[in-house]
Amino acid sequence: MFLVVLFYIKNRSGAENQAGLQPTLAYNDTDTLADLVNRDTDQDGVLDWEENLWGTDPNLKETTPGTPDVKAIEELKTKEGKTGSPISGNLTETDKFTQELFSTVSVLSQSGTLDQVTVDKLSETLANQIKNSPVEKIYGISDLKVKKDAGVAAITKYNDEMYAKLKKYPLRESPIDILDEATTEDGNIDGQVLEKLDPIAEQIKKIVGEMLQIDVPETFTTYHLALINSLEKLSENLTDVQSIDTDVIVALGAMSQMEQNIDSLESSTANLQAALEKKLNS
Amino acid sequence: MTSGNKTTKFIISLLIIAVIFPTVLFSRPKKTEATFGWISDFFAPLIHGTTAITAINTGTQTSISLKNLAKEILKEVARAVARRALAAMTQSTINWINSGFHGQPLFVENPKSFFKDIAKTEIKDIIDIVGYDRLRFPFGRATALNTIASYKRGFEQNAQYTLSNVIKDATLLDSYRNNFYVGGWNGFLINTQYPQNNYIGYQLLYNEELARRLDGTIQNTAATVATTLQQGMGFLSPEVCDTNPLYNNLQNQFNRPRWNQSEYDRNNWFPPNEDITSGEFQLYEEEYQQELQKAKAEWAKTNDCPGNLRATTPGSVVAASINKALGGPQDLAIGGVNYGNSLSAIFDALLNKFIGDGLSKLASTINSPTPNEDNWDFEGNTLGVADPSGVSTLSNWLDTPDEVIVLANFKKEVADGIENTQKELDLMDNKDGSTPGLTQVFTQIWQQTRALDQCVPGPDIYWQNRLTEEMDKNISIISGALGKGEDKEDTTGKVPLVIRELKYAVRFFGDWVEEKMITDLPGSVIYIDAVDELETLSPQANQLSAARREKIQTLSRLNSLEDALADFSGDPEPGSNEEKDLITLRKEYNAIKQNISTSLTISNRKSELDTAKERYFRLDSLTTKCTSERVVKGWNPNGGQDSQFQNGDSEIKLYCDAPVVGGYPH
C-alpha cells in the first residue's frame, strides 16, 4: 500500500516507473536512489548490486564466457531448489520494504556513498514515507448527495436522518480500549486481541456508507465530508493495524497515523456539531 | 503499559460504576431529535475510549485527561509495533537472503585474523606437499622447519646472516664463507642451504619482502580474498561441494579440511627393526604406503571435494549477527514522546547496522566464541604463536585477539597489581629510616653534597654563576654611569674599554679562585666533581615525583577496581548486565595497565635506589676524607665562609678579599 513508492524504485518488472510521481528516496540533494539502485552496467537484466551478491561481474554480461549471468544465476537457483526471482512473488510490504532497504544499503555501500549524511537522509525519508503513506479512498463532494436547501427544516431533517441511520450502528467498543488490551505486560502486542478491531472497522465502513446516502444541506458539505474522510482513514488504520503478525510495516504505518486521524475525527465531529447547533439555535 | 495499565483500568472501572449508572438511569436523552450533542457522544468511543462517553458528562477536566490517556495508549502501541517491525524486518531480510540467495554465508568478523589464517593455510599447504615425502623432496623437511621458523619471525631476523650470531670473529666468518677447508661440509651447507647466508638466497628474500611491500602489485590469495570481500561488503561466500555430498560443506575455500599426516604418523607409524634388510625395508615401506593411502581415502570420503567447491552467497551468519545486534524488543531503547521521531531513530539504528564495515559491529567483539584449536603441526612445530619468545611483537591492537575475561584471573591480576605497585611506591618513598625510599635518599644526597661542598675551602657551589651575575650587574651600572643606556649612544667612547677590563678582571678572579680551590686540599678536584654532580639530582627528583604521582593514582584506581570486583561472585552469564559491568571494569583496568608496577619495574626501581644509596655513601666517605684533609692543611674541621685558616683568616677573606685587596697589576 504505502510502500509502493519504495517498491517502484527498484521494481525491475515494473515498466512504468512511478517513482517520479511520488516523493522518493534521496541520498543526496540532487539524486534519487532510483538511478543508483536500478543501475545495470552490463545491461544483462541483473542489477549491479545483485550481481555483487551473486558473485558475478556487474560489468560483464557473461562473467564466465559462454554463460550469460542470468543463466548462471538461474542454474545456481535450480541447483539449490530455489525458484523465482527473490524480489517477485507474493511479498508482504514488510518483505518489499526490507528488501528495498537491504538493496539500497548494498548499492550505496558498494558505490561508496553510504556516509552518515546519506544514512540520516535515507532514514528520514523512510520514516516520512511510512508516516505519510497514501489513503486507499478519499471521498469528494461528488460522492455526496448535496441539497441546495439550507433552511432550518432541511437541517433538522439532516440531523434527524443522521441520527436515525447511525444509531443502527452503535459503537459499543472503543478501538483504544482494544489496543490497550492488546498491549501485553512485556510491552509486546497480542495480534489476536487486535482482531477485535475488525468489527469496529466494518461498522465504521457501514457508517460511512450510510452517511454517503444522506441528503446533505449545501452549507454542511464540508463538515460532512471531513467527518466521512476522517472515519474512512481511521477505519483503514484499524484494518491495517491487525496485520501486525503478517505484515508489520503496514501496521506500523497505521499506528503512526492513527493519532493524527483520531484528532481529525474529533475536530470534524466537533465542527459538525457546532455548525448544527449554530444553525438550529439561530 | 504494564502495572500502570492495570491501575488505569481499575480507575476506569470505578469511573464506569460511579458515572454510568446515573447516566443510564436518569440522563439518557429520550428524544434525540431535539439535541445535537449526540454526534460527539456517538463518535466518542473512537476518540477517547468507551469510558469517555461517561467521562465527558462529568466535566471537561476528566475528558482531557482521558484524551491524554488515549494518546498515551496509542503511543505505547506504536512503540510496540515499531519494535515488532524491526524484528520482522530483520527476519524478512534473513528469509530473503536465505531463499533468494542460497546457501550458508560466511561473514568475516575480523579480517586481520582472517588473513593471518590464510597465510597459515598457505604455509600448511606447502609444508604438507614438501615436508613428508623424503624421496621426492630430500630438502623438504629442512625447508619446512625453516618456513615455520620464518613465519614466526620478522623479515629483519629472517634475512640476518645466521653465523654472525655465534661467530663474532669477522675473519673467521669470512673464511667460513669462502674457504672450504675452514667450514667443510658444515660451512658449505650453512652457507648454501640457508638463503640469508648467500647472495642469491638473500636476494630472493629481499625481493620477496620488496614485493610484499609493493602492495597490490601481486594478486596473491590474500589479495583475491580482499577483493572478494570488498565486493561482497564483508560477506565471503563459502563453498559447497557438488560432487561429494558427504563433504563437510560450508567450509570456505581458505579453510578446507586437511589431511593431518603428523597425527597419522603419531598413531600409525612404528619404526622398522634396526637389522632390517633392504628387501624387508622395501616391504615395510610399501605396507606403510598402502595403509596410508587407505586411511587417506577414508578421510577423503567426507573431507575431499573432487573438482571444485562452488561459491555460495550470504545468509545465515549475517542473519545470526543481525539478530544478535538487534536483540530482543527490550534491548531497543525507543524513547521520545513523538513516535515519529522514534521511527526515524529506528531506521537510523537499522541502517547503521547495515553499513559495510558496520557489519563487524553486529558481532560481539568481546568474549566471542573461542576459535577451534589449530592442532596442525609439523614435527611438533605449530603456527600458533607468532613469536616463540612469548613476547608480543604485535604493534597494533587490531592484531591482538579478542580478550576473554576470567573473573578469578582478573581479580588476581588486580591484587598482584596492587601488591606490586605498593612495593614500587615503597621503594620510591619510605619514611622508615631503616629502609628509606628514593625520595629520602635524594634528600640525604642533597644534604651530604652541601656538607662536602662546605668542607672544600672556597666559595659554595654555583659560585661561577653568581660571579657572572654580579659582573653583568656591574656592566649595566657602568654602562648607565658612562651614558650608555640601552637606547643611548656611547658618547664617551670609554664603555667598551671599561667593560672589557671588568670582564678580564672577573675572569682572572674566577680562574684564581678555581685554581686555589682545586689545589687547596689534596682531594679537592674529586670533591668538587662530586659536588657538581648535584646538577643531575634535580631532574632525577622531578622524574621521581612525577612517577610517584602516577603510581599513587594507579594504586587508588586499582583499589577501587578491587572493591568493584569483590561484588562479583562468579563469572557472569554472557550478555548479562554483570558481564557488561565486568567488561567496563576490564576496560578501566586496561587503561591503567601500563602504569601498574611489574616485577620488571620494581627491579628497575630497586636498582635506581641502590645506585642512589651508593652515591650517598660515596659522598659521605668523601666528606669524612675531606674533613680530615682540612685539618691536616690547617683549616678548621667545619667548613663554611666563616671557617678559619691557621693564620686566623676566614675562608671568605682568603678567597674573596685577598685577590682584591691591594689588587694585582695587570
Q: Write the CB contacts of A26 (distance below 8 Å, at least 6 apart in sequence).
A: A32, A33, A121, A122, A125
Contacts from B255-259 at CB under 8 Å and sequence distance 24+?
B255/B117, B255/B121, B256/B303, B256/B305, B256/B309, B257/B303, B258/B124, B258/B125, B258/B128, B258/B303, B258/B376, B259/B128, B259/B296, B259/B299, B259/B303
CA atoms within 13 A on the CB side of A260: 14
SS3 B611: helix
Are the beta carbons of A269 and A231 closer than 8 angstroms? no
Instruction: Give pLDDT tens digits for B607-631.
Output: 888 888 888 998 999 999 998 988 8
Q: Which residue has the higher pLDDT, B19 or B148?
A: B148
Min Cα–Cα distance to chain A from B60, Å: 14
Q: Would you say A63 and A70 are in contact if contact means Cβ atoms under 8 Å apart?
A: no
3-state secondary structure of B107: strand
Average pLDDT, chain B: 69
Selected residue with higher pLDDT from A132 and A114: A132
Could you give the residue ranges of the DSSP H alpha helices within B131-256?
140-152, 155-158, 170-178, 180-193, 199-213, 221-231
CB contact under 8 A, B343 and A256: yes
Amino acid symbol at B97 = I
Q: Distance between CA B240 and CA B310 in Å, rounded?
A: 5
B72 vs A: CB within 8 A? no
Contact check, Cβ <8 Å, A171/B101: no
Q: Per-residue pLDDT averaged across B408-429, rounded?
A: 91
Interval B376-400 mean pLDDT: 47
Query: How many Å apart are CA B23 and CA B58, to the nearest integer?
Result: 10
Tell me the per-residue pLDDT of B565-581, one tens digit each, with 9 for 90 and over.
Answer: 988 888 887 777 888 78
Of B490, B505, B596, the closest CA to residue B553 belongs to: B596
E strand or H helix at B232: none
Least confident piece of the model among B67-71, B173-177, B363-367, B472-476: B363-367
For chain B, what is the total number of helices (H) and then of strands (E)?
24, 4
With beta carbons under 8 A apart, name residues in chain A contacting B90.
Answer: 98
Write down the pLDDT at residue B427: 92
**Contacts for A54 with CB less than 8 Å, ≥ 6 apart:** A46, A69, A72, A73, A76, B101, B313
Q: What would the mean pLDDT of B283-304 be, rounded to a whole number?
A: 86
Q: In terms of pLDDT, which residue wins out, A271 or B186?
A: A271
- More confident call, B11 vs B470: B470
Chain centroid to CA B14: how far? 64
CB contact under 8 A, B96 and A273: no
Rounded to whole angstroms, the Cα distance separating A8 from A38 reads 10
Which run of H or of E encompasses B406? none
**For residue B182, is pLDDT > 80?**
no
Give the highest mean pLDDT range of A206-220, B46-60, B110-124. Answer: A206-220
The single residue listed with the C-alpha cell 530483520 is B90
Distances (CA, A) of A20 to A16, A23, A34, A86, A247: 10, 7, 10, 25, 26
Residue type, B239: E
| B109 pLDDT more than 70 | no
Instruction: Name which of B454, B363, B372, B445 is nearest B643 in CA terms.
Output: B454
Give per-residue pLDDT as tens, B4-15.
Answer: 444 444 444 433
Task: Check if B25 contacts A (Cβ < 8 Å).
Answer: no
> Is A121 a residue whose pLDDT tops 80?
no
Q: What is the pLDDT of residues B598-609, one digit of tens each?
A: 888 888 888 888
> Mean of the pLDDT values across residues A226-236?
91
> Among B36, B72, B227, which would you mutate to test the A interface (most chain A Cβ atoms within 10 Å of its Cβ)?
B36
Please give the pLDDT value at position A92: 75
Q: Inspect the interface and report whether the beta carbons of A252 and B314 lie closer than 8 Å.
A: no
pTM above 0.80, yes or no: no
* B102–A80 CB contact, under 8 Å: yes
Position B156 pLDDT exceeds 80: no
Model confidence pLDDT, tens digit, residues B550-564: 899 899 889 989 998
Residue B480 has pLDDT above 70, yes or no: yes
- What is the average per-residue pLDDT within A130-156? 80
Chain B residues with CB-CB distance to A174 below 8 A? 45-46, 48-52
Please judge whether A262 and B356 are an interchain contact, meaning their C-beta atoms are less than 8 angstroms apart: no
Rounded CA-CA distance B574/B368 in Å is 10
Q: Is B347 on the interface with A (CB under 8 A)?
A: yes
Question: A16-49: string of b/e by CB count within 10 Å (b at 16+)?
Answer: eeebeeeebbbbeeeebbbebbbeeebebebbbb
- Name the residue facing B99 among A86, A167, A183 (closest C-beta): A86
Residue A278 has pLDDT above 50, yes or no: yes
Closest chain B residue to the Cα of A275, Cα to Cα: B36
Residue B533, classed as helix, strand or coil, is: coil
Distance CA A148, CA B485 (A): 110
Establish if B311 touches chain A: CB-CB under 8 angstroms: yes
Long-range CB contacts (within 8 A, 24+) of B651-655: B651/B457, B651/B458, B654/B457, B655/B457, B655/B458, B655/B459, B655/B513, B655/B516, B655/B517
- How much is the average pLDDT of B377-401? 46
**CA nearest neighbour of A3 among A103, A108, A101:** A101
Q: Could you tell me if B446 and B439 are in contact, meaning their C-beta atoms sit under 8 angstroms apart?
A: no
Grid coordinates of B75: 503511543
Kindly report the nearest CA distance between residue A16 and chain B, in angstroms: 25
Min Cα distance B83 → chain A (Å) is: 8
Give the pLDDT score at B63: 53
CA-only gyration radius of chain A, Å: 25
Which of B42, B96, B237 is facing A166, going by the closest CB pair? Answer: B42
- Answer whether B20 touches A (CB < 8 Å): no
Distance CA A124, CA B82 (A): 15
- Please tell me the predicted confidence (pLDDT) of residue B233: 46
Rounded Cα distance between B490 and B509, Å, is 28
Q: Is B68 on the interface with A (CB under 8 A)?
A: no
CA–CA dist A204, B168 (Å, integer)? 100
Q: Please tell me if residue B231 touches chain A, with a CB cutoff of 8 Å.
A: yes
DSSP string, B414-476: HHHHHHHHHHHHHHH----TTS--HHHHHHHHHHHHHHHHHHSSSSPTTHHHHHHHHHHHHHH
Q: Is the pLDDT of residue B530 over 90?
A: no
B631 touches chain A (CB under 8 A): no
β-pairing, B235-236 with B106-107?
Answer: antiparallel
d(CA B648, CA B617): 33
Judged by CB atoms closer than 8 Å, whether chains meet at A189 and B5 is answered as no
DSSP chain A: -TTHHHHHHH-SS-SS-GGGGS---BSSSS-BHHHHHT--TT-SSS-HHHHHHHT--TT-S-SBTTB-HHHHHHHHHHHHT--S-TT-SS--HHHHHHHHHHHHHHHHHHHT---HHHHHHHHHHHHHHHHTPPPS----GGGSEEE---SHHHHHHHHHHHHHHHTTS---S-HHHHHHHHB-TTS-B-HHHHTTHHHHHHHHHHHHHHHHHSEEEGGGHHHHHHHHHHHHHHHHHHHHHGGGTT-HHHHHHHHHHHHHHHHHHHHHHHHHHHHHHHHHH-
The alpha carbon of residue B106 and the mean position of all alpha carbons in its chain are separated, in whole angstroms, by 29
How sure is the predictor about B414, in pLDDT bands with cuts at 50, 70 and 90?
very high
Q: CB–CB of A251 and B85 under 8 A?
A: yes
State how far Cα B324 lies from the chain centre.
Answer: 27
Grid cell for residue B112:
586481520
**Hey, which residues does A32 pair with through a beta bridge?**
A26
Rounded to an integer, what distance in angstroms lies between the CA atom of residue A260 and that of residue A273?
20
pLDDT of residue B153: 66
| Residues of chain B with C-beta less than 8 angstroms from the C-beta of A95 | 92, 95-96
pLDDT at B415: 92
- Mind listing the pLDDT tens digit for each residue in B216-227? 444 566 666 666
> Among B227, B235, B561, B599, which residue's Cα sits nearest to residue B414?
B561
State residue B418's pLDDT score: 93
Q: Which chain A residue has the Cα nearest residue B37?
A: A273
Where is mean pLDDT largest: A253-267, B37-51, B165-179? Answer: A253-267
A276–B36: do the CB atoms touch at under 8 Å? yes
Cα distances (angstroms) measured from residue B217 to each of B70, B206, B223, B224, B225: 67, 16, 10, 12, 15
| Amino acid B421: pLDDT | 92
Is pLDDT above 50 for B108? no
Asked if A105's CB is within 8 angstroms of B354's CB, the reply is yes
Distances (CA, A) of A153 to A156, A160, B41: 5, 10, 23
- CB distance A179–B351 less than 8 Å? no
State CA A56 to chain mean position distance: 35
Q: Test A251 with B84 for CB contact under 8 angstroms.
A: yes
Which of B400 and A240 is assigned the larger pLDDT?
A240
Question: Hey, are the CB atoms on A262 and B70 less than 8 Å from each other?
Answer: yes
> Tell me, what amino acid is at A106?
S
How close is the nearest chain B Cα to the Cα of A265, in Å? Answer: 7
Contact B89 A94 (CB under 8 A): yes
The pLDDT of residue B432 is above 50:
yes
Q: Measure in Å the smallest separation between the Cα of B362 and chain A Cα atoms.
A: 15
CA distance B191 to chain A (A): 49
**Mutant choice from A128, A255, A279, A282 vs B, greatest count of B C-beta within 10 A:** A255
CA distance, residue B313 to nearest chain A CA (Å): 6
pLDDT digits (tens, 9 = 90+) for A40-91: 788 887 777 666 656 677 788 888 788 888 887 777 656 544 444 444 456 7
CA–CA dist B595, B590 (Å, integer)? 10
pLDDT digits (tens, 9 = 90+) for B434-457: 888 999 998 889 888 888 888 888
The radius of gyration of chain B from alpha carbons, rounded to an integer in Å, stands at 44
Question: What's the pLDDT band for B349 if we cut at 50, 70, 90?
Answer: low
Average pLDDT in the B198-216 region? 66
Contact B123, B147 (CB under 8 A): yes
Q: Which residues of B touch A172 (CB under 8 A)?
A: 45, 50
pLDDT value at residue B417:
92
Burial label for A217, CB within 10 Å (0-12, 13-18, 19+), is buried
Q: pLDDT for B639-653, tens place per residue?
A: 777 788 887 788 877
SS3 of B599-610: HHHHHHHHHHHH
d(CA A24, CA A122): 10
ipTM of model over 0.85: no
Structure confidence at residue B134 (pLDDT): 72
Nearest by CB: A53 against B1, B101, B329: B101
Band of the pLDDT at A4, cuts 50, 70, 90?
A: very low
Q: Are the Cβ atoms of A87 and B100 closer than 8 angstroms?
A: yes
Q: How far is B131 from chain A (nearest CA, A)?
A: 36
Give the residue among A281, A282, A264 at the shortest CA–CA distance from A225.
A264
Higher pLDDT, A71 or B205: A71
Confidence check: pLDDT of B664 > 90 = no
| Chain B residue numbers touching A87 (CB-CB < 8 A) | 100
Q: Say if the Cβ atoms of A53 and B232 lie within 8 Å.
A: yes
Please, which residues have CB within 8 angstroms of residue A50's CB and are 6 or more apart in sequence? A103
* Pairing mode of beta strands A215-217, A145-147: parallel
Compute the nearest-CA separation of A142 from chain B (Å).
Answer: 24
User: Which residues, in sequence order, are CB contacts of A241 under 8 Å at separation 6+?
Assistant: A179, A194, A197, A251, A254, A255, A258, B77, B81
Strand partners, B239: B251, B311
CA A205, CA A190: separation in Å to the nearest integer? 24
